[in-house]
C-alpha cells in the first residue's frame, strides 16, 4: 500500500513541477497521433518522445501511439481540428513537413491558428540516399542523371507532392541548374514506405531525414550520398558527405515537435509545452538525439509559435519561386 501511495505522490510532484499546480491539469491516458504509417519521422517522434514522457514520469500511463496517414498530414490535422478540438490529452507529431503543407494551402481550409504549437525536440537534417547496390555514389552523379533524362529518375519521399521531402529534392535540383518542374517525385505515406519502394527498384533515390534513414543505413539497405547540413554531422554520422562539400549549397533542416488541439485549455497547453521542454532537457532524450542524428533545437510556447509563423512565411515565398503555388 505504501508503494502505491509513494508512486502516486511521485507522479503528482512531476505534474506539479510542470504546471505549478497539481490541480491545474493532470494528464490521463495520453494519445500521440503520428500522421503517417509506421517507419517514418512522425512515427519515430511519437514513439520515442512518448516512451520518454513515461520513462521520466511526466505522464502516469504509457502514451498510446496512433498512426493516421493521409494527405501529407492533412488527415490527422482535419481530425484534430474538426473532431478532437478540445482534447487535453492529445498531442500530434509535427515537423517542417507540417508547416510546408500549411504554407502551400495543402490542408483545405486550414491555418496554423487552428491548433496550438507545443514545442520542438530537435532538428533532423535532410538526406538523399540510394539503394546499397546502386551504381550512384554522389549527389552530382544523381543530379546529372536527372538533368539528362528527368522522367527516368523517379525520386521518392515520405511527404506529399510539394511537401518537405519534395522541397529538399527541388532545392538540390535548382542548385544544379535543373528545371524543377521536370523533376519526377513520387510521394508515399511515410519514409519507411518510400525506402521500401527504393529497395524494390521502383525509384532511384530517397529524400528523407537522418533519423528515419539511420535504421536502413545500419541494416546495410541504403547508402547516404548527401546530408543537407552546413557541416558534417558529429559522431558516427561524420562519415556521410554534405551536399555543400560536393559543390551544391543546399541546407535542409527538418524540426521535429508537436502541436495540440486548438481548443485545449491554457493549463493543458502550458503543461504540454513544459512537458516537451522537460523531455528535451532529459538525459534520456539527449541520448536518443545522439543515437539518431538529431541536432539541437529547443523551442516551446510563444517562441515556437513565432518560429512556426516565420517558417510558413519562408516556405510560401520559396514555393512561389519554384512554381508550386501562385
DSSP string covering 184-210, please? -EEE-SSHHHHHHHHHTTS-SEEEEEH
Task: Decide if pLDDT at 12 tops 50.
Answer: no
Structural domains of the chain ordered from first start? 2-124+254-321 (3.40.190.150), 126-253 (3.40.190.10)
**Per-residue confidence band for 20, with pLDDT thresholds at 50, 70 and 90:** very low
**Alpha-helix residue ranges (DSSP H) falling in the chain:** 2-19, 41-55, 74-83, 96-103, 139-148, 164-175, 191-199, 210-218, 266-281, 283-292, 301-321
Q: How many CB atoms lie within 10 A of CB 309?
A: 14
What confidence tens digit (pLDDT) does each residue in 111-140 have?
999 999 999 999 989 999 999 999 999 999
Distance, in Å, from the CA atom of 49 to the CA atom of 285, rounded to the nearest integer, reads 8
Backbone angles phi, psi at 81, to 5 degrees: -70, -45
pLDDT at 10: 44
What confidence tens digit (pLDDT) does each residue in 53-112 have?
999 999 999 999 999 999 989 999 999 999 999 999 999 999 998 999 999 999 989 999
pLDDT at 212: 82
Rounded to an integer, the average pLDDT of 224-241 is: 91
Amino acid at each position: 500500500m505504501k508503494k502505491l501511495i509513494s508512486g502516486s505522490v511521485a507522479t503528482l510532484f512531476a505534474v506539479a513541477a510542470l504546471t505549478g499546480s497539481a490541480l491545474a491539469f493532470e494528464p490521463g491516458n495520453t494519445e500521440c497521433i503520428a500522421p503517417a504509417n509506421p517507419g517514418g519521422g512522425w512515427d519515430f517522434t511519437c514513439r520515442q518522445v512518448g516512451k520518454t514522457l513515461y520513462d521520466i514520469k511526466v505522464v502516469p500511463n504509457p502514451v498510446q501511439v496512433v498512426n493516421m496517414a493521409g494527405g501529407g498530414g492533412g488527415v490527422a490535422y482535419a481530425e484534430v481540428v474538426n473532431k478532437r478540438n478540445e482534447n487535453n490529452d492529445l498531442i500530434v507529431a509535427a515537423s517542417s513537413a507540417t508547416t510546408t503543407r500549411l504554407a502551400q494551402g495543402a490542408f483545405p481550409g486550414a491555418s496554423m491558428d487552428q491548433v496550438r504549437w507545443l514545442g520542438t525536440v530537435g532538428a533532423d537534417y535532410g538526406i538523399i540516399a540510394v539503394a546499397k547496390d546502386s551504381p550512384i555514389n554522389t549527389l552530382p552523379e544523381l543530379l546529372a542523371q536527372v538533368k539528362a533524362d528527368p522522367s527516368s529518375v523517379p525520386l521518392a519521399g515520405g511527404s506529399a507532392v510539394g511537401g518537405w521531402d519534395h522541397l529538399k529534392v527541388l532545392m538540390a535540383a535548382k542548385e544544379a541548374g535543373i528545371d524543377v518542374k521536370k523533376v519526377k517525385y513520387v510521394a508515399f505515406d511515410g519514409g519507411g514506405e518510400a525506402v521500401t519502394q527504393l529497395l524494390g527498384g521502383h525509384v532511384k533515390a530517397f529524400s528523407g531525414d537522418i533519423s528515419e534513414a539511420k535504421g536502413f543505413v545500419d541494416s546495410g539497405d541504403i547508402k547516404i550520398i548527401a546530408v543537407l547540413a552546413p557541416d558534417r554531422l558529429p559522431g558516427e554520422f561524420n562519415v556521410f558527405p554534405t551536399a555543400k562539400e560536393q559543390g551544391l549549397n543546399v541546407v535542409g533542416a527538418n524540426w521535429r515537435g508537436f502541436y495540440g488541439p486548438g481548443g485545449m485549455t491554457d493549463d493543458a497547453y502550458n503543461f504540454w509545452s513544459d512537458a516537451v521542454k522537460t523531455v528535451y532537457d532529459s538525459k534520456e532524450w539527449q541520448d536518443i538525439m545522439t543515437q539518431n542524428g538529431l541536432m539541437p533545437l529547443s523551442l516551446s510556447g510563444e517562441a515556437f509559435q513565432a518560429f512556426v509563423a516565420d517558417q510558413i512565411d519562408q516556405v510560401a515565398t520559396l514555393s512561389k519561386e519554384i512554381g508550386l503555388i501562385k
